[in-house]
Structure 1
Amino acid sequence: MAASDQIKSLIKSFGEDNEIRFFSTALQIAATEAKQGHTTFAQELKKLIDVAKKDRSVNAIHSKALPLNLPKRELQELIEVFQPKINLSDMVLDENIKNTLYKVIKEQEKWQILKAHNLEPKRKLLLTGAPGTGKTMTAQAIAGELGITVFIIRLDGLMSKYLGESIAKLRLIFDAMNDQRAVYLFDEFDSIGSHRNQNQDIGEIKRVLNSFLINIEKDQSNSIIIAATNLPESLDKALFRRFDEIIEYPLPDENHIIEIIKKQTKAFSFSTKIDYKALSKLALGLNYSEIVRICNDTIKEMILNDLDKLELATLKKLLKLRNVVNEK
């Protein structure tokens, strides 16, 4: 029979709609049963998992094609729609960042009370930091906390070679903010938010930036506007005062690395005792996404090799390899 903590993890994953952890735990149970000689049951379980995965993939395709909150037809080429499944508690964040975000969420939850006192809730955020530090995930988590949709603005669809068309498209997006309350994420914002006096700037980009400055200044909607960039130093200085909060995302320190590893591997156990402090030093310099990916790859290795427990040596090897790649 499956271990009690595996069963608990399976149920918890189902309740949280965490598909990756659910299937990983189910495969681990199958591997355990196979090792105990219950090969027929193990094979049946693996077949059920494969069928379930295929069904989920088909459902995911239909879900993406027909999202619950479709934007207007003319906006569909500009916006990707996501129904978030995460909250801030799913993220590992610096305490100051977490407190700032929870305050934003609290103000959003009580926006009607604040407006009754002629006060505006914070809802325009600029997120800066290296790739993989959690900026995009933050937009999804805020939407998850508030139970609203995430609209990711496709900046490649926004820009047009025809004079004035990009500005008209941007106006459509800001109009949508009034029509439908959601989180609107302008990712890689530096592509339109660069200094207006840069020599390499294209005229249309300058006009789009000027239009964005005007629109965000005038915007009185109840939507949350988030701009994310890896290059804050390239942004036009006039942008900064348009945002209610400017949040800088650092790379994880040793304590955060330990928290990430524990969170990602909590459904499993290791074959040997772990010195988390020593392990965290191997991951210094890596971003959150890289550490999560390495933990998932370690879990995959366990499953593919029909092991009952995670191998510390595998995790260490992958961390070292990632750092070597980053140094090149």
Structure 2
Amino acid sequence: MTATKHLLAMIQSHVARDDQRFLAVVEHIAEEASRSGKFKVAGDIRGLVEAARRKSERRDANTVPIVAPRGELAGLLKASYPDVALSNLILNPDLDRRVRSIVREHKDRQLLEARGLNPRRKLLFSGPPGTGKGMTAAAIAAELGLPLFTILLDGVITKFMGETAGKLRLLFDAMKATKGVYFFDEVDALASRRDADNDIGEARRMLNSFLQFLEDDKSDSLIVAATNHRVLLDPAIFRRFHAAFSYAKPTPPEARLIISNHLAQFDLTTIDWASIDEITDGLSQADLVAVANDAARDAVLDNASEMTTEIILRAISDRVALHDL
């Protein structure tokens, strides 16, 4: 990779706030310096990279425990401080605009409140697995400087009468006490429609409790619920949310962008993207990120850090094979 390519990749990583990709590009520069016989320069660069990684690890270790759930909440929530920027996400233009609008509402909430308005806080994401729903929740938290609390549904839902409602109350009390982004993944487990199969017993009580807590919530926290199966949700839940977002699998141009963004440390000028576009149909955003990571490993270990079309095609083929198992 030329110096110009290195510089562009580093700028892209910095703008995207992707520290790991930035450091990967810097390590690539160190490798090239070493191959050119500039061993002192290579050593100095690697030393700086190691120092940066140690600093990042200390920061993460010191930050997360501040809001680590305790007591009963420890089994209901997982806390983290994401570092995912919105620019890391590859969303269709309309979806990207709507997500950024939510972030702006919270950043400029004082302007809204001065006019008697409030930012939208309760968001519903729906779409196939791996299309970026969880990543969007993480990016919103990162953009707003808030902790991300992922709800552990296996700890919330129980078979004992009334116990699930009690745990939901704990969660919604936590939303008032600690401002953050609270993420209910696979929310259909809590809010499936009241049909003949589940219109009795604890399932109905659980749904009614969740609907009531959701409606009554007046905290400053954001509540993000995600589902892979929108049709399973009870119709009553939709009016409890301030906005709904639909996710889809990437188009070929979006797939190309996802792969190239995650391979920014490589020279991609010789890649035959047309042949890659032909076989990415049906792959999710998560699949494509995995493809890029697999291709990067193969290039580094087997091809002297040179990326080729064949390496990417092989990674895609391997990923497609997983879906066929």
- TM-score band by shorter chain is 0.7 to 0.9
Match of 2:143 in 1: 145
Q: Counterpart of 1:274?
A: 271
Question: What value does the CA root-mean-square deviation take over the aligned residues?
Answer: 3.1
Amino acid across the alignment from 2:75: E
Question: Residues 187 and 110 of structure 1: is their aligned pair in 2 closer, same or farther, counting only changes over 3 Å?
Answer: same
Matched-pair contact (CA < 8 Å) for 1:9–1:267: yes
Supply the distance in 2 between the matched residues of 1:254 and 1:12 (Cα, whole angstroms).
21
Contact 1:125–1:246 (8 Å) recurs in 2: yes
Q: Give unmatched runs, 5+ long, in structure 2.
A: none
**Aligned match of 2:253:** 255
Paired residues of 1:24 and 1:303 also in contact (CA < 8 A):
no
Cα distance in 2 between the residues matched to 1:258 and 1:18: 19
Q: Which amino acid aligns with 2:29?
A: I
Alignment of 1:201-240 (within 5 A): 203-240=201-238
Per-residue CA deviations over 1:191-244 (Å, capped at 9, x if unaligned) read 111122241577333222111100111111111110001111111111111111
**CA, structure 1 residues 237+11, in 2 after alignment: closer, same or farther (shift >3 Å)?**
closer
C-alpha change, 1:320 and 1:244, in structure 2 (3 Å) is same
Cα distance 1:324–1:53, how it changes in 2: closer, same or farther (>3 A)?
Answer: farther
Where does residue 101 of structure 1 map in the other structure? Answer: 99
Q: How does 1:1-328 map to 2 (within 5 A)?
A: 3=3, 5-6=5-6, 9=9, 13=13, 18-36=18-36, 55=54, 59=58, 62-63=61-62, 66-71=64-69, 73-199=71-197, 203-270=201-268, 273-305=270-302, 307-328=304-325
**CA separation in 2, counterparts of 1:114 and 1:47?**
48
User: What is the letter of the counterpart of residue 28 of structure 1?
Assistant: H
Contact 1:129/1:249 (CA < 8 Å) preserved in 2?
Answer: yes
Distance 1:263 1:226, change over 3 A: same
Closer, same or farther in 2 for the Cα pair 1:14/1:121, shift >3 Å? closer
> Relative to structure 1, is the Cα distance of residues 29 and 306 closer, same or farther in structure 2, using a 3 angstrom cutoff?
farther
Q: Distance in 2 between matches of 1:54 and 1:98?
A: 31
**Gaps (5+ residues) in structure 1?**
none
| Count of paired positions | 325
Structure 1 length normalisation: TM-score?
0.86
- Matched residues in 1 for 2:8 and 2:281: separation? 32
Measure, in 2, the Cα distance between the counterparts of 1:290 and 1:95.
Answer: 21
Following TM superposition, by how much is the alpha carbon of 1:29 offset from its aligned partner in structure 2, in angstroms?
3.4
Structure 2 Cα separation of the partners of residues 60 and 46 of structure 1: 21
Compared with structure 1, are the counterparts of its residues 313 and 52 closer, same or farther at alpha carbon in structure 2 (3 Å cutoff)? farther
